[in-house]
Each structure stands twice: as C-alpha cells, then as structure tokens.
Chain A
Amino acid sequence: MSDLRLAWRKGLNVVMLTLTGVAAFAVVAVLFLILGYLIWNGGKSLNWDFFTKLPKPVGETGGGMANAIVGSLKLLFLAAVIGLPVGLMAGVYLAEFGGKTFSFVTRYTTDLLNGVPSIVMGIFAYALVVLPVKHFSTLAGGVALAIMVVPVTVRSTEEFLRAVPASMREGSMALGASKWRTIARVVIPAASGGIITGMLLALARVAGETAPLLFTAFSNRYWSEGWSQPIASLPVMIYTYAIAPYEDWHRQAWAAGLVLLALVLLANLGCRLVLNRRGNYRSV
C-alpha cells in the first residue's frame, strides 16, 4: 500500500513540476507570439510614407502617420517637462526631508494616484484643462500624461536616493557642505543612473496610453501647431484605424503598433539592463 502511495506522490511530483515549467514557457511563448505577429504584420506595412506623410481622406489608400509620431513626441515632451520635476522633487522630499506622518500620507496618495485608471485621468484632465478654455489641446493631453508620470517617478527617485550609502552623505557633511548641497552635489548624482532610468520607464509607460488622450488631445488630421490645438498621437490612431473596416487602415494600424511597441520595449530593455548591472533592480 505504501509503495502505491509513494508512487502516486512521486508521479504527482513530476506532473505538477512539469506543469509549472509548461506554464512559464507558455507565458514567454505568448510574448514571442505578440512580438512576432507585430513584427510580421507591422514590418510588411512599414514604408517611408508611413513616417513622412499625413493621413489621406477616408477610403483612399496610402498616406502615413507622420503627424501622429510627432504628436506622440510632443505629448511625451509635455509629460516630461511637467511631470518629471514634480516627481523628482517629491521623491527628494520623501527620501531626504520627510516628516513621519506627512511622508506616509504622501506615499499613500502617490500609490493611490498610480492606481487610478487612465480613463479617469482623462476625465480629470478634461474637467481641468479642456472645459475652462473650451477646446481640446495638446496641453490637456500633456497634463493628463504628466499626472500619470508623477507617481512612478516619485517612487523610483525615493528608492534610488535611499539606496545611496549613508557614508557618502556623512562624508559630504563632514567636509562642511550643508544638507541641500549634499543632496544636490553628492546624493542625486550618485543615484542619477537609477533616477533617470526610473524617469524613462515612466515616460515609456505613458507613451502607450490611449484612454486619457481620447477627450483631451482628441486627434488631428493635420500637423498640430503650438500647444493649444488638438493633436494626433500613435495610440489614438491605432485605436481609430483598428476598429475601422478599411484594409489599408488595418495595415497602418499594424505599422503604428510596431513602431509604438518598438519604442516602448527598447526603452524598457535599455533601462532594465542598466538597472540590473547596477544591482539595484527592484520590480514593480
């Protein structure tokens, strides 16, 4: 009897452990499938026109997404200029100056902000930036994305600042530097690798966001000039083209998807490799 039971246990052992291996490789296989499908379909559709031309009238083939590519870059620029300094400064506060309760409240609120669904961010930016001035604008889209950039930046800045050894701080202070000089000239530069990669990851994350742009930046068939006009962006174009029936638009949606994914993955790959080498890797 006990032999049978032992055989059962051993058999179960092998089966379950194999299943876990299968699960892991299944998940990885999905990743490669996604990449492969996008590269195949998107690669077929990429051509010089895609990067240089404006969209054509509905139903006509050809044209490109030049304005959407530039649009996404402009929106990212705004998100960076508005959101990154806020994140950086708040991160410095939490790591270097924070009082106990206020820090706790700030951290909790930052996490809360991080968990807000992006569509709700869109509503917020609409109420805040679009309604008062009565038009959709690049600025509104940029603000929505900037708010989303802040929490990730705060967390990663705080983490990497904390990781700087106390000895560096104390050494600097022992030489007579004031606290703020220490932070500015010693601590931040020491943590700069991690901080910058954290910022890049935050930007890579918002680069692919669509929902907050639907009713803030809206979209534009032409080049958008200045900051107060609606603007086209890659994610919104992908969405619009994917749900339409025109084959040519589907082709362009794949191409745009490939470009977007390439940007996001390259940024992530680069950042994580850098972080790994420094040994400061922490996920989520």
Chain B
Amino acid sequence: MKKIWITALFLFGLSALAGAKPGTVLLNAAGATFPYPIYSKWFDVYHSAHPNVQINYQSIGSGGGIRQLQAGTVDFGASDGPMTDEQLAQSKVKILHFPTVLGAVVPTYNISGVGGDLNFTQKALAGIYLGQITKWNDPEIAKANPGVKLPGDDIVVVHRSDGSGTSYIFTDFLSKISPEWKSKVGTNTSVNWPVGLGGKGNEGVTGLVKETPDAIGYIELIYAIQNKIPYGKVQNAAGKFLKADLAGVTAAASGAVKDMPADFRVSITNSPGPASYPISSFTWLLIPAQIPDAAKKSAVTDFLKWMLTDGQNYNESLSYAKLPAPVIAKEQKAIALIQ
C-alpha cells in the first residue's frame, strides 16, 4: 500500500514540474459562437504555421467571453455584441475591440414541405418573436409568400439560452424595426424572451431547429450552410427581401466604414441601401490593452497581424465576408495600442 502511495506522489510531483514545454505559448480564449467556425479554423492554421503557439478557444457565447475576460480567467475574449460602456468601466484593464469578420444572422426554420427562401417581412419576425404571430399560415407571413403552402401549425420559437452576441445582433435588429420590441424586451446578449425554447450556443439553436418540426431560430449563416438547413430572406430597410450572402453583408458594412469610430464599436443592422442585408454584423476580438507577459503579448499581436492579412483569405470559404480595406488599415494601426 505504502509503495503505491509513494510512487503516485512521486509521479505527481514529477509531472507538476513538467509543465509546459519551454517556448510554448498557451493562450486561453473564450466567447462568441457566431464566429466559432472561422476562429477554430484560424487557430488551427496558425498553430500549424507556429507550432509553439496554442490558442485554446472555447465557444461559450459572447456573454461568457465578456465575463471571463472581466474575471481575468482568459487571455482574450470574443463577442458579437460590443461591450457596453458600463461593462468597459467595470473592467480593471482597458479592453480594445478588434473586428475580425463580417457575418450574417439568418432566420432558419423547419417546416415540412417548405424549402429555402421563405420571405420574412420585418413585422413578421418581430411578431413571431414577440409571441403575437403564433401560426405559420398567419397572414403576415402568407402575404409575403404567395404560392407557398404554409401549414396551420403552431410556430415553435427558438432563441438562445446563453448570453449571446448573436442574440445581441438579432435583438438590435428587432429593436430598430419594432418600437414595441424595443420597449418591451430591448437589446442585449441575454434578454427576457417573451416566448420560445432556449438552445445553448449557435450550435444548440441549430440542433433544436433541425430536430423540431415547425421551429424557427436565428443563427449565423455558416451554421445553416454547414448543416444544410433552409434559411429565409429578410426584408431590409429599403423593403427588398434579401437572402444572406457575402455581397449583402459587405454592402451593409460599407455605410459604416466611413464613420468607423476609433474603438470599432458600431452596429450595422438594418443598414440603408437596397443591397444591404439587414441582419449583418461585425464581430470583435476583445483584447486587453495591457498584456504583462511578453511572450503572450507578442503571440497576440502576431496573430492579429496574421488575421488581418492571411487570415482574411479563409473568411469567404466559410461564408463570412472580409473586412473592408479601410477597416483593416485602421486596425493595423490600433495593434500598436497593445502594451
């Protein structure tokens, strides 16, 4: 018995000393599920090019990313809802926002007999999520889709159960198009949803919609594509029904590019212009302005530089739009702010 304990303790002590290989930089990050597919691709590719840098990203939702960054348990965070002034004030260290990609939030659904391209008016989306439109064959939905056979079933609304930047983008859009939504529910990563089931992460919502007949949910574009589920067209500010794609998202961002604030926090939902996809958004990496560990700091700044140049080449294959060139230039200058 004694021998076993002694050997165990010895091994334990030995491995505690082992630690990380010298020269390996381990970065822990957490946050948004919206850009998770592109981030996991990036970190993987970056790791192959720089084997001594490991970036462990956990997609726990934007709320989680902000929280863990504030608590200091991760080296950087990610969120599609920019941090509010209060949240920034609460943080001990100054936090910098770096846009990474442009993405789209799409309404996905699971109605038997109905394929892709269902048209959703702005009123329809607001009404469904407010719990006022309860059946698929409601006139508000039917009138935008002549010729489509909509069942009289109850709509199963799905939203996020966790603190989500995708929720932020979606509720931001709803607040802009529906004064009732704005006053009753508001814009945030986590709101008091009037109706619906909660799924965890973009992954959870996609899973629920996929498995539940008559469901509707809002997810990032790539999740709909990768899982081959139908998603609808959304009516934009100019009244046109657009399906989410790279061109629509880029058009939505073009207006904001000129007036991009220095801290990069900007909303591009419901942008004017006939070609703008209405539920578009930047997504940001949240980087502390001060990183005491020199190795970590150089790993982070190197990654950011790589992300703004080579990294952008991976965006489109995963259906995220590239950052506009003026934004990239601004960010490259902003990297110098990281001390």
Contacts and interface: CB of A to CB of B under 8 A. Distances in A.
Tell whether any CB of A sits under 8 Å from a CB of B in the complex: yes
Given A81-B9, A245-B207, A220 B37 contact: no
Interface residues of A, number: 31
Given A229-B28, A230-B56, A130 B73 contact: yes
Nearest to A222: B54
Contacts of B157: none
A226 B72 contact: no
Interface in A57-114: 57-59, 77, 80-81, 85
Contacts of B58: 218-219, 230
Interface string A222-264: 1001111110000000000001111000000000000000000
A134 B226 contact: no
Contacts of B144: none
A188 B1 contact: yes
A192 interface: yes
Given A57-B41, A243-B204, A230 B71 contact: no
Contacts of B206: 244-245
Chain B residues touching A, range: 35 or more
A168 interface: no
B291 interface: no
Contact of A135 (B12, B28, B201, B223): B28
Interface string B16-56: 10111100101010100000110011011001000000101
A227 B201 CA distance: 28
A120 interface: no
A63 B88 CA distance: 38
A134 B73 contact: yes
A221 B20 contact: no
B40 A77 contact: no
A44 B19 CA distance: 36
Q: Which applies to chain B's interface (DSSP): helix, strand, loop or mixed?
A: helix
B57 A221 contact: yes
A136 interface: yes
Contacts of A228: 19
B222 interface: yes
A226 to B, nearest CB: 4
B207 A57 contact: no
A243 B200 contact: yes
A35 interface: no
A77 B12 CA distance: 9
B15 interface: yes
Contacts of B199: 243
Nearest to A232: B56
| List of 5 A-B pairs having minimum Cβ-Cβ separation, nearest first | A244-B203, A226-B19, A245-B206, A57-B40, A245-B207
Interface of A: 56-59, 77, 80-81, 85, 130-131, 134-136, 188-189, 192, 218-222, 225-230, 243-246
Given A135-B72, A221-B56, 18 more contacts: A57-B40, A58-B41, A77-B12, A80-B8, A130-B73, A134-B73, A189-B1, A221-B40, A222-B54, A226-B15, A226-B19, A229-B26, A229-B56, A243-B199, A243-B201, A244-B203, A245-B210, A245-B227
Interface of B: 1, 5, 8-9, 12, 15-16, 18-21, 24, 26, 28, 30, 36-37, 40-41, 43-44, 47, 54, 56-59, 71-74, 199-201, 203-204, 206-207, 210, 222-223, 226-227, 318
23 contacts: A56-B44, A57-B41, A58-B36, A59-B226, A77-B8, A77-B12, A80-B8, A81-B12, A134-B73, A136-B28, A136-B73, A218-B28, A221-B57, A225-B24, A226-B18, A226-B19, A227-B16, A230-B56, A243-B200, A243-B203, A244-B204, A245-B227, A246-B227
